Structure 1
Amino acid sequence: MSPSAGRRFRAYTSKHLDELTARAGLGEDERLAVRAVATVLPFRVNSYVIDELIDWDAAPDDPIYRLVFPQADMLPAEDVARMADLLRQDAPRKEINAAANEVRAKLNPHPAGQMDLNVPKVDGQDPLEGMQHKYRETVLFFPKQGQTCHAYCTYCFRWAQFVGEPDLKFASGEVDHLVRYLKENPQVTSVLFTGGDPMIMGEGVISKYIEPLLEVETLESIRIGTKALAYWPQRFVTDPDADDTLRLFEKVEASGKNLAFMAHFSHPNELEPELVQEAVRRIRATGAIIRTQAPLIRTINDDPEIWERMWRTQLRMGMVPYYMFVERDTGPQDYFAVPLARAYDIFRDAYKNVSGLARTVRGPSMSATPGKVCVDGVTEIAGEKVFVLHFIQARDPELVGKPFFAKYDEKAAWLFDLEPALGATHFPYEEAPPADVSALVDPARA
């Protein structure tokens, strides 16, 4: 294994940006622009990513570098110039934060109506913080100790969790509330721990969240959404509590519930280190199933050969390709987004070259307000060129699996950029969407 395999975790933050971007060959003005972007969007990386994943000879064009380091043109030029001027003037931190918050407010910090998905009141109590219920069978839980990551992706749609503004965060330390909610709503069969990254927590903390769920009879699966395999595989191999963590995974499987490890891999280079491969072997040995997912990101993985190589490698390692996402309508979407027509071409060109075992992957999929919408293709019907779409998952379960059509638009990058096709005046999800999350608890309200 690499020399860094057993090292203690070391994080690098915005105070290290100048020296790191200088290492990438950026000039003084370029480095200032990057620091300006980092006053608005979060930056965090660690020694493993720095030493093992980034090819510094290729930086700043190296894909992993671009995956974790802010780019000067990720924000509108006028906003970058404003923040750079404040840094140049050594303005007070309060003034910089106020200006940064004004820029953040324009970036749709909570896409897909996330703040409207908080679990509703139970027994007259206040809404349960840190829990979201978007689909009838699935609840998301945000453990408060897991609201950071080993490193931040520049494209992350949950960037608002990491900028230090309490009003933009949602998290909970009350697992008892989650257990009670599950018992009162047996239609919920799956819990997804997310954040941030739950695997930033030590075993002693994460077990306090997971073990109580093993007693909920109606719960079928526990999911953990994480980038740890890519950004800190030591978590499962050489960290002091690695073995205890794996024993916790075994306990979940022994309880008769499925443990789904939702691994985020954005580029095949993240799969190359021997340490990652050993971590995957150890997790799979517990009985957990590793499913892989990532968004399609311009300048980083917008090439079918990259996705084909990534899916083939994941399959050989025993993982299950699961999702190709479309970059969400938040943060620097204009910088990273790939138009839907191009996204479909990339997906299809990669998909057609892999075996059926890798065709478990779905996409390109948009996690939008009404649900997960998949672009199935482009075709012509009655002389009109259209996108063919369907809901993989939906807040209204009746929409799932039913095809619908949108006018072809080569520039459209998100569901709400599209218009109904074939004479329709609205999309199916616009007819009678659930008014709020309470409809997922009480079907009579839907």
Structure 2
Amino acid sequence: MKQTGSRGFRAYTSKHLDELLKRAGLDDGERLRIRAVATVLPFRTNAYVVDDLIDWAAVPDDPIYRLVFPQADMLPADDVNRIADLLRGGASTAEVNAVAHEVRMRLNPHPAGQLDLNLPRIGHEPIPGMQHKYPETVLYFPKQGQTCHAYCTYCFRWAQFVGEPDLKMASDDVHQLTGYLKEHPEVTNVLFTGGDPMIMGEPVLSRYVEPLLGLEQLESIRIGTKSLAYWPQRYVTDPDADDTLRLFERVVESGRNLAFMAHFSHPREMESPMVEKAVRRILDTGAVIRTQAPLIRSINDDPATWQTMWRRQLSLGMVPYYMFVERDTGPQDYFAVPLARAYEIYRDAYSSVSGLCRTVRGPSMSATPGKVCVDGVAEIAGQRVFVLHLIQARDPELVGRPFFAKYDPRATWLTDLRPAFADRFPYEPAIPSARLSA
């Protein structure tokens, strides 16, 4: 299939927001409050999402609308009203930005120590745009991939997109990446992330991927992307679609596993025939598509949605991989589902699909110590507890070992939990004996 001409991609940003919201029939006051939220959190979508995925007759309850459009109550009312008053009064951009920055800094813009705990170093110098969170895995943030075809309202990397340089993680020096990998033979896989690496055209993407194919230690290359949901044309009709797929073939032919980490948040994102074509073309290169998404209140917080997603993914040849817990950043209070309910949703969906779908893991928290999975709720020694284990950990010795937390029906994140049957969780440092006796 030979592609010619332009991509046909049309992006919508905050300058288009008010006009788009008029489709929903929202009044002036509601639109103003949504615009206020969009000064704090990023907004970007495109014509495919707006015209083909959103059911405008069902707005504001339509899940895809809620997935990409800010909501007036996503942030504390006092903050929203304060910014709305500034916008209504014609305040300067500098005044609005100052208040928006203040609000952002209260939203934990970089959870799990992203700006300091995970940064690799050459000598004493940190390498920007890289993370080495687990011994075998390095994450890399290509500079040209620091946007997306559309932004999810729940995105835990929202801080990458708000125009504040101090909050960004990005690099365009692939030689630093390859140099670091040569010094660290324990690294066997690289994950390209962002943003969305697939926003890059094939010539730029190749500049990052090709140098890795000469490193014998690498077993796999992963690409984290939402493009299959938000712009499947990237692999079917875009001018460089064929060249991109040939790049995927070269990765596979080099003996590496190419893992395409596709983010699907709702079954409707897989209904388009364009998605089916894109998935088939990617799989034909020898790549594996693994699927993942967080559990998000008001968008996919019921077992039937996940059951439908996993079955559809399996029928298309994709591998269900992760159900995540909404991270402790941004509008977490708006989207988070309590851990107890998250486990129930996962259990009910998991029990309703075949064994081939049960490759999925979750509900999983990508927290500071690693990926913590909620295995269930149990009664042990007369105490109700969460049963947990680390799927992945900074300390490999902790992987797979069960531990327990006191049951809390309101807990939505790891830091809300308290240890059961111990004075600390296994990933926490021991308390010095002097302090214990004090």
TM range (shorter): over 0.9
What SS does structure 2 have at the residue aligned with 1:16?
helix
Could you say which residue in structure 2 is the equivalent of 1:13? 13
2:77 alignment partner in structure 1: 77
| Post-superposition CA distance 1:290-323 (Å, at most 9, x none) | 0000000000000100000000000000000000
Asked if 2 retains the 8 angstrom alpha-carbon contact of 1:25 and 1:60, the reply is: no
1:276-291 maps to which residues of 2 (within 5 A)?
276-291=275-290
- For the pair 1:298 / 2:314, whether they are aligned, the reply is no
Distance 1:401 1:346, change over 3 A: same
Q: Output aligned runs, 1:16-55, within 5 Å.
A: 16-55=16-55
Task: Report matched runs for 1:315-334 at 5 Å.
Answer: 315-334=314-333
**Shift in Å, 1:125:** 5.7
Tell me which amino acid in the other structure corresponds to 1:380: E
Give a deviation string over 1:242-270, Cα, whole Å, max 9, x none.
00000000000000001000000000000
How far off its partner does 1:103 sit? 0.2
Q: 1:121: Cα distance to partner?
A: 2.8
AA aligned to 2:36 is: A
1:425 is aligned, of 420, 423, 430, to 423
**Matches of 1:418 and 1:14, distance apart in 2:** 38
- Pairwise CA RMSD of aligned residues? 1.2
Secondary structure, counterpart of 2:42 in structure 1: coil
SS in structure 1 of the partner of residue 57 of structure 2:
coil
Tell me if structure 2 keeps the 8 A contact 1:118–1:129: no
C-alpha deviation, 1:336, in angstroms: 0.1
Give the C-alpha shift of residue 24 in structure 1.
0.9
Aligned to 1:105: 105
Match of 1:352 in 2: 351
Correspondence 1:230 to 2:229: yes
Supply the distance in 1 between the matched residues of 2:316 and 2:430 (Cα, whole angstroms). 43
Identical-pair percentage: 77
8 A contact 1:222–1:260 mirrored in 2: yes
CA deviation vs aligned residue, 1:102-148 (integer Å, no higher than 9, x gap): 000000000011111343332x3621110000000000000000000
User: Partner residue of 1:247?
Assistant: 246
Cα displacement string for residues 367-423 of structure 1 (whole angstroms, at most 9, x for unaligned residues): 00000000000010010000000000000111000000000000000000000112x
SS at match of 1:260: strand
Deviations 1:272-294 (A, max 9, x none): 00000000000000000000000
Q: Secondary structure at the match of 1:346?
A: helix
Q: Given residue 363 of structure 1, which amino acid in structure 2 is its aligned partner? A: G
Distance 1:131 1:237 in 2: 30
Aligned-partner Cα distance in 1 for 2:162–2:40: 8
Q: Helix, strand or coil for the counterpart of 1:360?
A: coil
2:401 maps to what in 1? 402
For the residue of structure 2 that corresponds to 1:140, the secondary structure is strand
**When the two structures are superposed, what TM-score results if normalisation uses the length of structure 2?**
0.96
CA–CA distance in structure 2, aligned partners of residues 348 and 27 of structure 1: 41
Q: Distance in 2 between matches of 1:119 and 1:22?
A: 44
**Residues 323 and 364 in structure 2, CA contact (< 8 A), matched pair in contact too:** yes
Other-structure match for 1:376: 375
- Indicate how the Cα distance of structure 1 residues 163 and 338 shifts in structure 2: closer, same or farther if over 3 A, else same: same
Cα distance in 1 for partners of 2:66, 2:146 equals 22
Contact 2:7 2:239 (C-alpha < 8 Å) held by counterparts: no
Deviates more, 1:410-419 or 1:6-15: 6-15
The equivalent of 2:94 in structure 1 is 94
SS in 2 for 1:293: strand
Matched with 2:259 is: 260
Q: CA deviation at 1:7?
A: 5.9
- Match of 2:128, SS? strand
**Alignment-derived partner of residue 336 in structure 2:** 337
What is the distance in 1 between the residues matched to 2:350 and 2:169?
A: 36
The aligned residue for residue 200 of structure 2 is 201
Match of 1:56 in 2: 56
Runs of 4+ in 1 over 2 A off after TM superposition: 117-121
* Paired AA for residue 31 in structure 1: R
Other structure's SS at 1:116 match: coil
Q: Give the letter aligned to residue 221 of structure 2.
A: I
Question: Is the contact between residue 118 and residue 128 of structure 1 (CA under 8 Å) also seen in structure 2?
Answer: no
**Structure 1 gap ranges (5+):** 434-446
Partner of 1:215: 214
Code of the residue aligned with 2:173 in structure 1: it is: E
CA distance in 2, matches of 1:154, 1:270: 15
Q: TM-score if structure 1 supplies the norm length?
A: 0.94
Per-residue deviation, residues 340-369 of structure 1 (Å, max 9, x unmatched): 000000000000011111000000000000
Residues of 1 paired with 2:132 and 2:238: CA distance? 33
**Alpha-carbon distance between aligned partners in 2 of 1:78 and 1:219, rounded to the nearest angstrom:** 50
1:118 touches 1:130 (CA, 8 Å); kept in 2? no
Partners of 2:18 and 2:158 lie apart in 1 by 21
Alignment partners' CA distance in 1, 2:310 and 2:430: 37
Shift, 1:431, TM fit: 2.7
More moved, 16-25 vs 276-285: 16-25
Q: 1:99 to 1:393 in 2, by over 3 A?
A: same
Secondary structure at the residue paired with 1:392?
A: strand
